[in-house]
C-alpha cells in the first residue's frame, strides 16, 4: 500500500470509530506495523489533522472534521450500491426514492472509470417478497423520530383488538415483508414494537417527548441484550 493511501485509510478507520482505537488495531487492519502507524499518525497530526490520543491508549478523530466526499474506493462504491439496492427494494417509498437519488449522485461525482460499478454493478440484492402495506406515513414517522415528537396510534393487535396508544417513536426496523415501529408506550409504561401494517390510524402530535431518541435506542438495546441473556440462562438451566 502506498503511504498516501495508508494515511487516507488511517483517517477512514478513525472516522468510522466512535471510541478510541489503538495503533495495534489499526496496524492489524492495514496489515502493517505499529511503529509505522505511530509514525503515520505523528505525521498526520503534524499536518494539523485533528487526531487526539496517545500510544497505548488509542486515537480518536475530533468532531467537525470532514474529508473530501469524492474519495471513494471501488469497494466503498459497491457497498453503497448494494445497500441502496436493498433500501430501494425493502424501504418505504420515501426511502426508496432517496436510495435511487443516492445512486444518481454517486454516479455523477465519481470518476468516469468507476461509473460502471454503479451503472452495471456486479453485485445484486436478491428479490424480495410482497410487503405488507404500512398504515401510516413512514416519512412522517422518520421525521417524528428525528424531532423526538409523540405519535398517537390506533393499533390493532394480532387478535384484531384495537387500542389507542400514545408512543415515543425512536426507531424503525425494516424486515423482509414487514416493518416495526419501536417506541416507548405510555399506556403500557414500557417499550413496545408495533407492526406498521396493523396501524389503523395515526396522529402526529406537536408535543415533544422528554427523552432523546438516541438514549431510548440505547436503553432498548440494553434491555434486549438482558432479555437474551436471561433466555439463554433459562435454557441452560432447563437442559441440566
User: How far does Cα 4 stand from its chain's mean position?
Assistant: 29
Task: Please state the pTM of the whole predicted model.
Answer: 0.64
Dump the DSSP string for 35-65: HHHHHHHHHHHHTT--EEEETTTEEEEPTT-
> What's the mean pLDDT in 142-150?
95
CA dihedral (47, 48, 49, 54) positive or negative: positive
Mean pLDDT of the chain: 87
Grid look-up 472509470 returns 113
Return the top range by mean pLDDT from 46-50, 131-135, 174-178, 218-222. Answer: 218-222
Please check the confidence at residue 116 and state whether its pLDDT lies above 60.
yes
Counting residues of the chain whose pLDDT is more than 70, the rounded percentage is 92
pLDDT at residue 200, rounded to an integer: 96
Q: Grade residue 45 by pLDDT with cuts at 50, 70 and 90.
A: confident
Tell me the domains of the chain and their CATH numbers: 3-61 (1.10.10.10), 74-119 (no CATH), 138-229 (2.30.30)
Other beta carbons within 10 Å of 70: 9
Amino acid at each position: 500500500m502506498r503511504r498516501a493511501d495508508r494515511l487516507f485509510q488511517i483517517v477512514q478507520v478513525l472516522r468510522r470509530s466512535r471510541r478510541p482505537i489503538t495503533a495495534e488495531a489499526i496496524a492489524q487492519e492495514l496489515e502493517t506495523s505499529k511503529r509505522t502507524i505511530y509514525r503515520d499518525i505523528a505525521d498526520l497530526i503534524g499536518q494539523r489533522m485533528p487526531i487526539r490520543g496517545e500510544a497505548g491508549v488509542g486515537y480518536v478523530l475530533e468532531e467537525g472534521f470532514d474529508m473530501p466526499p469524492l474519495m471513494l474506493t471501488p469497494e466503498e462504491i459497491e457497498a453503497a450500491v448494494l445497500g441502496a439496492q436493498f433500501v430501494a427494494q425493502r424501504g418505504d417509498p420515501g426511502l426508496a426514492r432517496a436510495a435511487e437519488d443516492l445512486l444518481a449522485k454517486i454516479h455523477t461525482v465519481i470518476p468516469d472509470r468507476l461509473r460502471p460499478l454503479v451503472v452495471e454493478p456486479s453485485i445484486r440484492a436478491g428479490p424480495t417478497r410482497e410487503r405488507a402495506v404500512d398504515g401510516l406515513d413512514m416519512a412522517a414517522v422518520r421525521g417524528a423520530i428525528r424531532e423526538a415528537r409523540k405519535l398517537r396510534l390506533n393499533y390493532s393487535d394480532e387478535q384484531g383488538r384495537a387500542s389507542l396508544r400514545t408512543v415515543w417513536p425512536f426507531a424503525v426496523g425494516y424486515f423482509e415483508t414487514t416493518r416495526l415501529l419501536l417506541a416507548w408506550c405510555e399506556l403500557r409504561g414500557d417499550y413496545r414494537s408495533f407492526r406498521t401494517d396493523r396501524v389503523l390510524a395515526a396522529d402526529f402530535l406537536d408535543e415533544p417527548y422528554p427523552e432523546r431518541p438516541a438514549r431510548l435506542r440505547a436503553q432498548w438495546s440494553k434491555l434486549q441484550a438482558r432479555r437474551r441473556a436471561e433466555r439463554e440462562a433459562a435454557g441452560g438451566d432447563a437442559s441440566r
